Structure formats: C-alpha cells, structure tokens
Chain A
Amino acid sequence: MSEYTIKDKVAVIGVGETTYYKRAQAPVSEFRLACEAIIKAADDAGIDVKDIDGISGYADDRNDASRLATALGLKHLGFAGMVWGGGGGGGSGAVGNAAAALVAGYAKYVVVFRALAQGQFGRFGQAPVTNSVSGAPAFTAPYGLYVPAQWVALRTRRFMHQYGINQEPLAAVAMADYYHAQFNPRAVMYGRPLTRAEYDKSRWIVEPFHLYDCCMENDGSAALILTTADRARDAKQKPAYLMAAAQGSNYRHNATVENSADYASSNFKTLAPRLFEMAGITPKDVDCAQIYEHFSGAVMISLVEHGFCKPEEVMDFVTYENIIAPKGKLPINTSGGNIAECYMHGLELVNEAVRQVRGDSTCQVPGAKISLVASGPMVSPVTDLIVHSI
C-alpha cells in the first residue's frame, strides 16, 4: 500500500441541507441557501460555525469562499479550494481536497458545499441563445448538440450497442431512485411514486432517456463538515471516516467534438483502481453505493468501471431488485439521488453515503459499514470516494 494516503486520517462529522426545491422555487437567494446549509451541517456536527476554517467547492460554484467566510464571521480562513470543471464531477473531489487540506494541516474544520438556484441564475438544460459560436462548440451546436443529456446519450448508446444492453438497466435506476425517495422526506419526489408503466410512457428527452431517466433541476444547498480523525473522536455524531478519495481522468477523455480516446466510458477507469487501492478493499466489500445519475444510463457504466460487474453482466446485475435497499445485492442511490431526491450536483449523494455508514439513512441498508460515491460520470475530471464507519 502507498505510503501517501488519507485513509482514516479524516472523517465527515456533520451533514446538512436546506429544503430542496423544484427549479426556481427557492424563496431566497443562492448565497443564503449556501449559508443555511453550512450552518445546518455545523449544527449536525456540534461545532461552532465560526470554527470552520476551510471551504471546499466544485462546479464553478458562484458562492465565493471569501464572501462566505466573511458573511459567516469565520475567525480565519486556512484553506479555500475548488475542483476544476463544471457539473457534478467534482463532488467527491471537493471532499478529497478537504481531506488533503486537513492532513496537510492547512485547516482543522473544512466545509464542503454546493448551492444552486436555477431561478436566480440560468438553467442547465437549455442552450444560451447567441448568433454565432466559435471554438469547440462551433463543431456541435449548429447541429443541435448542446446539452449534457445528449452527450451522455451518445456515449450510453455506444456502450449499449457494444454490450447488447436494452432499456432495462436504465429503467431499473430510475425506478430505484423513485422507490428510495418515497422513504425520504427531504426528497423533492417524496410522496410521488413512479410506476413502471408511467416510466415507459413518459416522453423521450433524447433516446434512450425518457423524462424519468433524467435528473431534476432544483434549488437548494447541501454541505458537510470534515475534520481530522483525532478531533472526530469527540464529535457529536458517529464519524464517517474517509477510506479513500480519487480524482482525475482517462487519457484524453476531454478531447473535444466527441473525441475521447475511450468513448463509451464514464471516465472512471483510471480512478477506480487507485480508489480501491487506497481504501484497501475490493468492490464486494462495499455495502451500498451512490452513483451519480444525471442520466440513468451513465450508472451502469460507472458500476462496471468500479468493478461491481463486467460489461457483459450489466443486464443481470443492474436490475431493480439488485439495486434497491435494504436487500438488494448492491443498493444504490438510497436517498433518491439526482433523479428523485434533489439535483444538488451530487453532493446529496455524499451526504447519503455518510448517513448510510453512520446508520441514519431514510432507506438504511442494515449494518452498512462501507459506502462508495462516484461523482459526475463522463465529464472531466471525475471524482470518487469511499467512507466507512469504524
């Protein structure tokens, strides 16, 4: 095992989130949402907000770390960092960066957060309207190729073609997310169960994605607090220790105009081996997983690239029965995830992994000790992590 590791050196000691709203429904500003979630996470951790001395973000978050530190009256700021890249790819990486800052001694309590108010700002699922376009988008936008649903669909369809996969694994993910959300009062789709018939007859967004294969668009904020293992021992909550975190990309994954060297990929192939090596476990040791699903089709590819099944086994492994809590072989997205809890760019998935290993999920997997998070498939960089309880 590598001498350089963050394994068990830091822990998540608190999680929090605002009310999750449908898109443009938040009654307050995005910045206020961020502040509320951070305060809730600190309360959950049992620490004074003002003792936070590190702020870690991702996805080009609009809520500047220094403005947050000022508004929250932090005594000082020892670390402020951001994972490169837009979208949800950085969710686990922001936790990894927080861990690095803690192990390096830059800070003692680091908050990781994400805030979104798509009413106050623009929507993700719609193209900006301009007269002309240059650079890489000049080769795609004039053909109506604009948004993540389409990019993910193109890669997903190639993967499905290569391995003889039909709609079933996609439907399983959407149905599992909705099923789990029915137990989660935080979930935007709580009280809104989905039947398979409704899934089947829902409109296409872009084939192979029906409406219910797509993440929602939401307003809200989520946050979590990390500290060093020695400080975590005195925490109010059972600590969720970070076993491993990884970030990065395959070779030339981000080549423009759909030129990734390995096209039908979630971009985890070079990360997952590093993640499991640092954690010192294998995929079969994982009790439940939170697999970023901006679009359902990406999930099976992320599962394959993390070694949970072979591509030829997807049709047998990624079934509704196998992926629902509490009894599935590998329950995934047990809070409802991006599709049915809240599209908080996947930070809701990190909070759910923490809740699972400390035993207070709304869809608890009995005895869950180890949970894996895979953030933002197909973008670059992507990131992942594993938490466990001791």
Chain B
Amino acid sequence: MAQDSKSEIKKYYLPEGLPAPRAARTGVDKEYWDATKRHELVVQKCNSCGAFQWGPEVLCHQCHSFEMGWQKVAGRGRLYSWVRCWNPVHPALKDACPYIVAVVELPDAGNIRMVGNLLGDPHQNPPFDSAVEAVFEDHPDATLVQWKVTAK
C-alpha cells in the first residue's frame, strides 16, 4: 500500500480513472497480464534462441522465430531512470501530482526494461541504479506491477 504525505492509506499509487490495461486482441501479451494476476512477472523469451525480448512482439528480433515463449523472472531490478511528474496529463491525475514514473532494468532477463511507478514518497530522490523490487497492485480488471527501492 502506498502512502501519501499525510500518511493516509491509499488503495493505489495513482488515483482510479486511468485506463485499465487489457491484453491485446492478438494475444501477444496475454501471458503477461495473466501472470501479474498471479503476482508473477513473466517476460518474452525466444523458444529457439533464448533471447529475451520486451515489449512483446510476434517474433524474435534475433532469430526471427515466431515461437516466442514466456519466462518467469524474479521481481527485482535496478532503477535505470525515473522522473517526477508535476503536470496532470490525464484528468484522473488532477490531484495526484507529483508522482514518480520509473524505468527499471531487469538483470535477470537480459536487461530488458519495464515501466512502473516508484512507490513511497513522491519527493524522494533515489540514486540511479538503486536496487528495486516489484510490488503487485491489484485492480478489478488487471494487476499492475509497481516498484520500490530496496537498497541504494
């Protein structure tokens, strides 16, 4: 659970009203969204050559195999970049600024990167490359993957 500066318990890091993620009709990312509901992190991994790939695509960019598999990976990474957002770019964010968007690299998955929010004080200034871990945030329609700093 995220807490804002007044220490009120918030259900989600960002307010409700942002669009819910939905698996693509093509099925290219269905496994990912199914896995987050189980509080598991999975990423695309080529069944032929073993390359990791993110975001999901219909074929492997290394060997062009269309047989892309899914690999469960540890929910830990390093804070590759982050920004503090002050401008409400969506009406649902009107009273939610500032908030932090993080780009996290996953060393256990070929250094692919994922995006989430950085839980905790939105005024924190975590060093780049800090260790972070995944926190699953359950919404009615989908489970988001958030991140929090574990060590600096």
The residues of A with any CB-CB pair to B shorter than 8 Å are: 125-127, 129-136, 138-147, 149-150, 153-155, 157-158, 161, 203-207, 252, 255-259, 263
Q: Given A142-B144, A144-B117, A155-B81, A257–B90 Cβ distance below 8 Å?
A: no
The answer to whether A258 and B103 touch across the interface, beta carbons within 8 angstroms, is yes
The answer to whether A154 and B54 touch across the interface, beta carbons within 8 angstroms, is no
Contacts of A157 in B (CB 8 A): 81-83
Q: Given A145-B115, A206-B86, A207-B86, A132–B21 Cβ distance below 8 Å?
A: yes
Given A129-B90, A154-B81, 17 other A-B residues pairs in contact with their CB atoms under 8 A:
A127-B89, A129-B19, A132-B21, A132-B22, A134-B21, A138-B23, A139-B55, A143-B101, A144-B96, A144-B117, A150-B101, A154-B103, A158-B80, A158-B103, A206-B87, A258-B103, A263-B113
- Nearest residue (CB) in B for A126 is B89
Q: Which 5 A-B pairs have the closest CB atoms?
A: A256-B55, A138-B21, A133-B19, A204-B86, A158-B81
Contacts of A139 in B (CB 8 A): 21, 55, 114-115
Nearest-CB distance from A213 to chain B (Å)?
12
Contacts of A154 in B (CB 8 A): 81-83, 101, 103
The answer to whether B117 and A143 touch across the interface, beta carbons within 8 angstroms, is yes
Contacts of A255 in B (CB 8 A): 54-55
Instruction: Tell me which of A129, A135, A158 contacts B91 (CB under 8 A).
Output: A129
Contacts of B87 in A (CB 8 A): 125, 149, 204-206
User: Does B29 belong to the interface (CB within 8 Å)?
Assistant: yes
The answer to whether A138 and B114 touch across the interface, beta carbons within 8 angstroms, is no
Q: Given A132-B19, A206-B83, A144–B29 Cβ distance below 8 Å?
A: no
The answer to whether A263 and B80 touch across the interface, beta carbons within 8 angstroms, is yes
Q: How many A-B residue pairs have CB under 8 A?
A: 131
- Nearest residue (CB) in B for A136 is B55
A158 to B103, CA, bound (A): 10
Contacts of B24 in A (CB 8 A): 134-135, 138
User: Does B25 belong to the interface (CB within 8 Å)?
Assistant: yes
Most buried by A among B55, B82, B84: B55
Contacts of B33 in A (CB 8 A): 138
Nearest-CB distance from B135 to chain A (Å)?
12
Residue interface mask B128-150, A partner, CB < 8 A = 1: 10000000000001101010000
A130 to B90, CA, bound (A): 10
Interface residues on B, range: 35 or more
The answer to whether B86 and A150 touch across the interface, beta carbons within 8 angstroms, is no
Most buried by A among B14, B22, B90, B91: B90
Nearest-CB distance from B3 to chain A (Å)?
18
Contacts of B98 in A (CB 8 A): 204
The answer to whether B14 and A134 touch across the interface, beta carbons within 8 angstroms, is no
- Nearest residue (CB) in B for A155 is B81
Q: Given A157-B81, A161-B128, A263-B81, A147–B22 Cβ distance below 8 Å?
A: no
The answer to whether A140 and B115 touch across the interface, beta carbons within 8 angstroms, is yes
- Nearest residue (CB) in A for B83 is A153
Contacts of A127 in B (CB 8 A): 89-90
Q: Given A129-B90, A154-B82, A258-B113, A138–B101 Cβ distance below 8 Å?
A: no
- Nearest residue (CB) in A for B15 is A144
Nearest-CB distance from A157 to chain B (Å)?
5
Contacts of A205 in B (CB 8 A): 86-87
Contacts of B112 in A (CB 8 A): 259
Nearest-CB distance from B89 to chain A (Å)?
5
- Nearest residue (CB) in B for A140 is B115
Residue interface mask B81-112, A partner, CB < 8 A = 1: 11111110111010010110101000000001
The answer to whether B82 and A134 touch across the interface, beta carbons within 8 angstroms, is no
Q: Given A131-B19, A132-B19, A142-B21, A259–B113 Cβ distance below 8 Å?
A: yes
User: Does B10 belong to the interface (CB within 8 Å)?
Assistant: no
Nearest-CB distance from B111 to chain A (Å)?
9
Contacts of B91 in A (CB 8 A): 129
- Nearest residue (CB) in A for B18 is A142
- Nearest residue (CB) in A for B26 is A135
Nearest-CB distance from A207 to chain B (Å)?
5
A311 to B29, CA, bound (A): 37
Nearest-CB distance from B2 to chain A (Å)?
12
Residue interface mask B14-54, A partner, CB < 8 A = 1: 10001111111100010001000000000000000000001
A258 to B93, CA, bound (A): 22
- Nearest residue (CB) in B for A149 is B87
